[in-house]
Amino acid sequence: MRPRKKNRHLPACMYLKHGCYYYVKANKWRRLDPDFQTALLAYAKITIGGTDSGMPDLIDRVMVEMRKTLKKNTLEQYAQAAQRCKEVFAEFEPSQVMPKHIAAYKVSMSKTPSMANRIISFLREVFRYALEWQLVDANPCQGIRRYTEHARERYITDDEFSAILSQCKPHTRNIFLMSYLTGQRIGDVLAINLSDVTDKGIFFTQEKTGARLIVAPTDDVLQLVQSIMDSRPKSEYDRLFASTRAGRPIAYTTVKEAFATARKLAGVEDVTIHDIRAKSLTDAKRQGLDAQKLSGHTDARMTARYIRAREIDIAQPPSMSDFNK
């Protein structure tokens, strides 16, 4: 290392530039603080605390902590957000990330507001941990507003659902039918064990909410279960839905991609795999059934979000009076 020609009072790797102190290593400039004493404290956190590892390492550390408390479904969503954030902020130290960077990232995802909101929520949690670990002095996500998400209004008609099912292979067709007949999420359908199928019906413990319910064994449900059992590969695997390869579980992503392919082949636009559950709950209400109980929601308003936007009341016009005679 070359001896300093100026600012010799500064410790190794600390530099003063444009009125602010920086920690410089491997050609990466990390902003400390304009105040020298505050900059020294930040410098100590890096060199003594061993935090000179950047945003990717911070995100990995936070994911380890999140695995202790969050549910699997949330972790899977955060894992996607984590990968994106590690790529975007690969060259950043935690203290270098400012609100303007978060805001710019949000704007870049304006066409996918749901993903943008998920990433903002994830980063807010990341920096909450960073604050507790004294790696940053403030949460740069503070004041960054989420996009307004509008409830989906898309309803899959019977003809559209039939067209999609006609483009599916038998095992994925059965998965979509089971989701419709039980009103459950695809992930919960894939998790059905053979022991969950009883004389009283199919037992579910919803992964997202923890809700427990039994879906009654209607003739349609019993017929579908029998069809699945007849075509199910012979194996020791305990799941109702097992792949043909050694009875291994079917991945959610595989089913999601299969739905996307089928709906394209069927020429059905603007539908997602999540709309199957919405169709089920909407149809259940129209048939006079308890859609909330079927959904497993503890709050009727949540069930209404699935149904209300997809159900349009039919207004009855008045009868023709004598004036038209």
Sheet holding 14-17, edge to edge: 14-17, 20-25, 28-33
Kindly indicate the confidence band of residue 36, based on its pLDDT and cuts at 50, 70 and 90: confident
| Range of weakest confidence among 175-189, 213-227, 261-275, 289-303 | 289-303
CA 107 to chain centre: 19
Please enumerate in sequence order all residues whose Cβ is within 8 A of that of 255, keeping only pairs 6 or more positions apart, or say none: 172, 175, 186, 190, 273
- CA pseudo-torsion sign 279, 284, 290, 296: negative
- Which residues sit opposite 29 in a β-bridge? 24
Kindly indicate the confidence band of residue 321, based on its pLDDT and cuts at 50, 70 and 90: low
- 113-132 helix and 54-66 helix, angle to the nearest 10 degrees: 90
Does 169 have pLDDT greater than 90?
A: yes
Given a contact cutoff of 8 angstroms between Cβ atoms, the answer to whether 210 and 298 are in contact is no
Q: Is 202 exposed, middle or buried (0-12, 13-18, 19+ CB in 10 A)?
A: buried
| pLDDT attached to residue 318 | 63
Short-list 137, 61, 125, 129, CA closest to 96: 137
Interval 19-23 mean pLDDT: 86
| pLDDT attached to residue 145 | 93
Kindly indicate the confidence band of residue 71, based on its pLDDT and cuts at 50, 70 and 90: confident
- What's the Rg (C-alpha) of the chain? 27
Mean residue pLDDT of the chain comes to 84
Interval 149-178 mean pLDDT: 91
b/e burial code for range 235-274 (CB count within 10 A of at least 16 → b) = eebebbbbbeeeeeebebeebeebbeebbeebebeebebe
| pLDDT attached to residue 49 | 53
- CA pseudo-torsion sign 11, 16, 21, 25: negative
If one compares 65 and 245, the residue with the highest pLDDT of the two is 65
What are the structural domains of the chain? 11-52 (no CATH), 53-146 (1.10.150.130), 158-310 (1.10.443.10)
Does 128 have pLDDT greater than 90?
A: yes
| pLDDT attached to residue 1 | 47
